[in-house]
Amino acid sequence: DHAYDTISGGDWLADQDAVEAFVNEAPTEMIQLEHWGCPWSREPDGSVAVRPFGGMKIERTWFAADKTGFHMLHTLFQTALKFNNLKRYDEWFATKLLVHDGRCQGVAALELRSGQIRAIAGKATILCTGGAGRIFPFTTNAAIKTGDGMGLAYRVGVPLKDMEFVQYHPTGLPGTGILITEASRSEGGILINKQGYRYLQDYDLGQPLDIQDPNHPQKRTMELGPRDRLSQAFVKEGQQGRTIEGEYGDYVHLDIRHLGEKKINKKLPFVRELCRNYVGIDPVHELIPVRPVIHYCMGGVHTNIEGETPLPGLFAAGECACVSINGANRLGSNSLTELLVFGARAARAAVRFGAQAGDIAVEDIIALAEQEQRRIRERFFQPKGGTETIAGLRGELTHTMESGAGIYREEESLQATCDKVRELKERFKQVGLTDHSLTFNTELTTALELEYMLDVAEALAHSASARTESRGSHQRTDYPARDDERFLKHSLAYQTDGDPRIEYLDVVITRWPPGERH
């Protein structure tokens, strides 16, 4: 069931060998996390509690109240502190992968305290830098999710795979984009439009629509349909004038009042905290304003099932990578589990590679790092009258991505976005820094982040323009049908001196031939 839900939810673009490995290894990794101290929520009899998430036929999602990612993060970090042979480089910023003799031998990184670029050598390098949601104006992603790891790999010739597939989460707070977790809907929250009507019952969410019994399981779980379809339903409600106009665009309401204060405090305490702190409402008594916001990049650095990229010595895992288990639309709760399974797989592969790799060419990679130091000094610290601002370019980038490569896309808007990103990359050359200090120069790191964002946006827009079909989160109004004959393939975007080169790679099919999404 887990494998089928993942593959069907991903609209058959997931590599099925990777999905099978994922679902088989996930329980072991989750139990390992339990042994390390992750406080999974429990039933009264002591068994691990589960809840349903979007696109699932059965309840299988383990959780820790509504702070699952937070608790996983701290469990892993605190466990890592036990090992004295781990050296952490806190407050360093990676600017370039150091490639010598055909393999990655480390990174050039900026020490924020001193402003110096240093070579950090490694027989194997693993990218785990997360997504790139900040190339859009409304996102659940943290401010640092600017696609750095994807950009690092892209610049040394590694392709970015399936970048056109970007997941909107249907329930983010307007303005901030802060996530109101899917747990709020799995516990019984409902979405209503400005008329107070539960509008999802009017849309095809991959479930039969002729069910009259409101207590039927498929009626109760309409809010747990696939995230892409819930976000598309929101757009259609807006087209009918049934959304609410607000300062940060249209929104609808999420209603969890009927759950009661006791259940909200037990199962959704963080949701209540976020609503109080960022909207000034109490969801025990008031409706929560929500709108679709960018949540997750299904695409990323091209890897195989072991987390290996085409560049020897370079590996990737998590949201910055595309293995691909998520296909055209990620299943709810698979991302945190993916971190465990493919983080471990990438680490084991990196250890195997390091054991047989030759010695690091220390002098050569130090020279490469010094060359990177000169590039950054000459580019950003020479006194020249830059006419462009970082904030101005970033604002134009997020606007063009939302308008041209948002929930619904078509050729004209995608071409406009491709043209705009090309223009912004050219204008970026005129960005000048007002802060020329070396110590904790946040203006410099923000400029470097924008450079990564432009690269990732370029790959995304051109991949979307080239895929003339609709599949999962990639919805083309000018090509509304899924086209398995031409596009049951992964896209691969390679950086060139001009626009990216788009190639295609067959999807791995093992046991589940392509069918209709359910």
Residue 179: DSSP 8-state = B
CA neighbor of 124 nearest in space, from 370, 308, 300? 308
Phi/psi for 60 (5° steps) reads: -140, 0
Q: Which two tokens stand for residue 264?
A: 């909200």
Q: What type of residue sits at position 82?
A: K
From the list 240, 199, 242, the residue with the least C-alpha distance to 223 is 199
Report the C-alpha dihedral over residues 276, 280, 282, 283, rounded to 10 degrees.
-90
Token pair for 75: 């469990």
C-alpha span between 130 and 127 (Å, rounded): 9
CA atoms within 13 A on the CB side of 260: 3
DSSP 8-state code for residue 380: I
Q: How far is C-alpha 53 from the chain's CA centre?
A: 17
Q: Could you tell me the two tokens for 513? A: 């031939």
Q: Are 185 and 224 in contact (CB under 8 A)?
A: yes
In sequence order, what DSSP letters do the residues of 455-471 get, joined into one string?
HHHHHHHHHHHH--S-B
Residue in this structure with the two tokens 């996102």, named with its chain if needed: 139
Would you name the residues annotated as active-site residues?
169, 185
Greatest Cα pair distance in the chain: 73
- Exposure string of 480-493, with b = 16+ CB inside 10 Å and e = fewer, is eebebeebbebbbb
Cα distance from N-terminal residue to C-terminal residue, the chain: 12
Could you tell me the CA-to-CA distances from 141 to 131, 171, 237, 494 in Å, in that order? 8, 13, 25, 25
Q: Contact at 8 Å (CB) between 54 and 360?
A: no
Characterize the bridge pairing of strands 50-51 and 92-100. unpaired
The per-type count for the chain, helices as H runs and strands as E runs, is 15, 18
Residues 312, 86, 324: CA angle, nearest 5 degrees = 40
Whether residue 324 is preceded by a cis peptide bond, meaning omega within 30 degrees of 0, is yes
